Structure 1
Amino acid sequence: MKIMKRIFLLLLTFLLIGSVCAVDYSNVSIDGADFQIPPQYSQGTLDKGKYVFEDLRTFAILHVDDYIVSNYGGMYKIADFKEKISVGERPAMLLTYYNTYIKDNVSQLYFPVGESVYCIYFRGNNVTSDISNIVETAPPSEMTSEAFYGILSEAKKEHDYRKYLDDLAADYSGIASTRDSASNSNDDQIVKWYLLTHWR
């Protein structure tokens, strides 16, 4: 009888431990790619190629193909930390910056899914097991590391080029505005001269 009680208690203990350790991931489909979301981020909203829990500083998954130049290129420029890493068998790029509003680090983890690039935003600077699990269980990608990092590199170059053109346009605009104000000043002086010399 004692042995039966011990076996029963042992089985009950295993069942309790198993139920405590079991994690209920929810599934979210973002532009046709399914992701397993850990419970702490499961109450987010899904809208137009993105899943956001609270805000981009807390947790989000974005399909960034359509705006990778502004997203990756812009974030690369302000990132305090940049590192090429592997998550499972996948190449990934981790960008981290300090957000003064929340007084904490915010990271963006870019990784390939199929022929696309997705990005996970999360608070902190460490790729946790939950973040790794999202990447590892995402649909596979045949994209090589070279192709993936090449896409990111081209996005950064394009962003830098656009920034250069914007700066050039602003410089020209400043010169043109100075020239226009000088021209207006000359016109004003001519009108004053005419009024002072010809009007009585």
Structure 2
Amino acid sequence: MNKKIIFLACVIGIALLSVSYISAESDVDTSDWVNITVNDINFQIPPEYGGGRNASGDYLFNNVFTFGLVALENNKSFRNNYGYEATNEENYDVEEMEIDGHHAVAYYSNRSIVNHTVTYLYFESNGTFYALSYDGDDVNSSMKKIVSYSPKSKLSKEEFNEKLNKAQEEYIEDQIEQEEAYQYEQAYREGYNQGRSDSRGGELLGYYFFYKLGQRSRY
């Protein structure tokens, strides 16, 4: 008898936790929230972020470290934006989550440029990735509510992760190529300026143009 009571108590406790979690997000008061449109999707945001710059593909209040919502509409913007944040040395934590039918991942960092914590929340909606960034160290109910206004994820969780991993790998590869191209260019210029534009200098310049051509071919 006691075992049955304990079991029922555990089940009820889990159910209450689930209800509390759902209520925490659904109970957000959005009566005074501000309407914005990003990538033809209508979002609502808390009033403290209202009055920012709203373009077709993004919304910014002050700057991306205060509040920003950006649609990463093509592979290049997605790779550069996500790749940079995923490899940022100032990150101190990363968290995967599901938000009302959206796959999402959050990066938390202490940004020296603004001297405060910044959260970058990446989520996918109907095949398009978005970056929601703001001054804060968690993904609270208000931020989850913003995400919930967009159409649900089109990708599976596996496809979502594959896209993220590929973007990060390509970003790292691109950074390595740019650094190598820069080193080749500097070596050539140094040799040329010293009056030593010999065959080695020409070879280095050839490598430089090769890397630049390789970069353009991927865009």
Settle same-fold status: TM greater than 0.5: yes
Q: Which amino acid aligns with 1:39?
A: P
Runs of 4 or more consecutive aligned structure 1 residues displaced over 6 Å after TM superposition: none
Aligned equivalents of 1:112 and 1:70: distance in 2? 16
Q: Which amino acid aligns with 1:54?
A: N
Native 8 Å contact 2:79 2:171 kept in 1: yes
Aligned equivalents of 1:147 and 1:34: distance in 2? 25
Aligned equivalents of 2:70 and 2:123: distance in 1? 11
Aligned equivalents of 1:42 and 1:57: distance in 2? 15
1:52 is matched with: 60
SS in 2 for 1:120: strand
1:177 is matched with: 189
Aligned equivalents of 2:197 and 2:170: distance in 1? 40
Is 1:153 the counterpart of 2:153? The answer is no
Q: Which amino acid aligns with 1:167?
A: E
SS in 1 for 2:87: helix
Q: How many residues align?
A: 166
Please give the TM-score of this superposition, normalised by the length of structure 1: 0.75
Aligned Cα RMSD in Å?
2.1
Q: Identify which of 46, 69, 82 aligns with 1:72.
A: 82
Aligned-pair distance for 1:82? Answer: 2.2
Aligned-pair distance for 1:69? Answer: 1.2
Aligned-pair distance for 1:41? Answer: 1.6
Aligned equivalents of 2:149 and 2:118: distance in 1? 23
User: Structure 2 unaligned runs (5+)?
Assistant: 1-28, 199-219
1:99-155 Cα deviation digits (max 9, x unpaired): 223321111100011110011011112001110101123222222111122112111
Q: Which amino acid aligns with 2:112?
A: T
Q: Identify which of 95, 117, 124 aligns with 1:112.
A: 124
Q: Which amino acid aligns with 2:87?
A: K
Please give the TM-score of this superposition, normalised by the length of structure 2: 0.69
Native 8 Å contact 1:34 1:139 kept in 2: no
Alignment of 1:4-83 (within 5 A): 23-66=31-74, 67-78=77-88, 79-83=91-95
Native 8 Å contact 2:71 2:131 kept in 1: yes
User: Quick one: percent identity of the two aligned structures?
Assistant: 23
